[in-house]
Amino acid sequence: MTTEMQPLLRVRELRTWFHTFSGIVKAVNGVSFDLAAGEVMGLVGESGGGKSVVGYSLLGLIDPPGKIESGSILFDGEELANAPERRLREIRGREIAMIFQDPMTSLNPVHTVGRQMDEMLRLHTELDKKARRQRCVEMLESVGIARAEERLESYPHQFSGGMRQRVVIAIALLAKPRLIIADEPTTALDVTIQAQILRLMRREIRQQGASLILVTHDLAVVAEMVDKITVLYCGRVVETGPVRQVLEAPAHPYTRGLIDSIPDPAHRLPRLRQIPGTVPDIRALPKGCAFRARCSGAAAICSEVEPSLVARAEGQSAACHFPLVSGETA
């Protein structure tokens, strides 16, 4: 994907903090990235790394005690950070849609699938009843649901998990949004159908020319799906770049660690490799680099100065004082 184009989404120094009794949780603490129209970006990191909060921040759906403290979210040139709720409601669903993790709970059990689809179209389009129904049928067919016309009258519990996620994807795409945020869209599904759903999602999103932010902790998913990858650690971007570049030659030891934790059936190890230690308490991050306690290459400067994101090669940047060179292990 080209970077010369004006990006569809430009996030700069986004800070979303939660003011809790036990301290300020800096879930997102200075995140920046660009996303071009039609581009697919993977947002990767461990649990609690602030991935989902980025997604919710883009939609203005941060509930108290959380708050977007500072930063800018430019969507097609329009500032969304702290935009009025009325404007945000128009954007949600129509411009930016979201696909959730668990299709078992992201559909309302008491309404038919058809009604839930219709709701989205009624809200965001001027189509009449017949045209809306027509669009729903087409959409269901395109996500691979047979007898779509009939299935509109079904309730969510009459679908299997994979089928439900197809419905969720169909609903997200209904109003032809330009950006889709998928928050771990296959985590709750059977392994056997994960790839199937991912490919379907990618194909449909491509077809509409929309951009996608894929929030995941699964690097295997990322490798297949995305153009570009952004790795978060403790609310900050530690590495970003074209997916091939980052996966083949990670510059940040954390990225390296994530890649090494993927089991490789060709080289069976007595134990799975892991990153030592745990994510530090995000309410009281130590001075310097947040990753240093788990990093084998940490030096004195790492506990003094927080490294900033520095360009390495061909659109790849990393926030590390001692970036790895190609092939090196952490």
Segment interacting with other proteins (CB under 8 A) among 30-38, 43-51, 94-102, 207-215: 94-102
Going by C-alpha positions, the residue among 156, 163, 176, 291 that lies closest to residue 236 is 291
264 sits near other proteins (criterion: CB under 8 A): no
90 sits near other proteins (criterion: CB under 8 A): yes
Exposure of 287 by Cβ count < 10 A (0-12 exposed, 13-18 middle, 19+ buried)? exposed
108 sits near other proteins (criterion: CB under 8 A): yes
Q: CA 237 to CA 233: how far, in whole Å?
A: 6
Segment interacting with other proteins (CB under 8 A) among 69-77, 83-91, 301-309, 316-324: 83-91
Beta strand 310-313 pairing with 316-318: antiparallel
151 sits near other proteins (criterion: CB under 8 A): no
**Residue 266 structure tokens:** 């060709």
CB of 93 to other proteins, least distance (A): 4
Q: CA 39 to CA 228: how far, in whole Å?
A: 8
Closer of 110 and 266 to other proteins (Cβ) = 110
Closer of 60 and 235 to other proteins (Cβ) = 60
CB of 291 to other proteins, least distance (A): 31
101 sits near other proteins (criterion: CB under 8 A): yes
Closer of 36 and 168 to other proteins (Cβ) = 168
155 sits near other proteins (criterion: CB under 8 A): yes
Establish how many alpha carbons lie within 13 A of residue 10's alpha carbon, considering only the half-sphere containing its beta carbon. Answer: 9
Segment interacting with other proteins (CB under 8 A) among 10-18, 24-32, 85-93, 284-292: 85-93
Judged by CB under 8 A, the number of residues near other proteins is: 32
Peptide bond into 65 cis (omega under 30): yes
106 sits near other proteins (criterion: CB under 8 A): yes
Closer of 52 and 317 to other proteins (Cβ) = 52
13 sits near other proteins (criterion: CB under 8 A): no
Radius of gyration of the chain (CA): 21
109 sits near other proteins (criterion: CB under 8 A): yes
Among residues 28, 44, 62, 168, which is the contact residue for other proteins, using CB under 8 A?
Answer: 168
Count other C-beta atoms under 10 Å from residue 218's C-beta.
18
> Hey, which residues between 47 and 76 contact other proteins (CB under 8 A)?
59, 61, 64
Residues 6+ apart with CB under 8 A from 290: 233, 234, 236, 280, 306
Closer of 183 and 239 to other proteins (Cβ) = 183
Among residues 10, 12, 111, 217, which is the contact residue for other proteins, using CB under 8 A?
Answer: 111
> Hey, which residues between 119 and 138 contact other proteins (CB under 8 A)?
119-120, 123-124
12 sits near other proteins (criterion: CB under 8 A): no
Establish how many alpha carbons lie within 13 A of residue 230's alpha carbon, considering only the half-sphere containing its beta carbon. Answer: 23
CB of 112 to other proteins, least distance (A): 9
Among residues 11, 31, 43, 171, which is the contact residue for other proteins, using CB under 8 A?
Answer: 171
97 sits near other proteins (criterion: CB under 8 A): yes
Interface positions with other proteins (CB under 8 A): 59, 61, 64, 89-94, 97-98, 100-102, 105-111, 119-120, 123-124, 153-155, 157-158, 168, 171
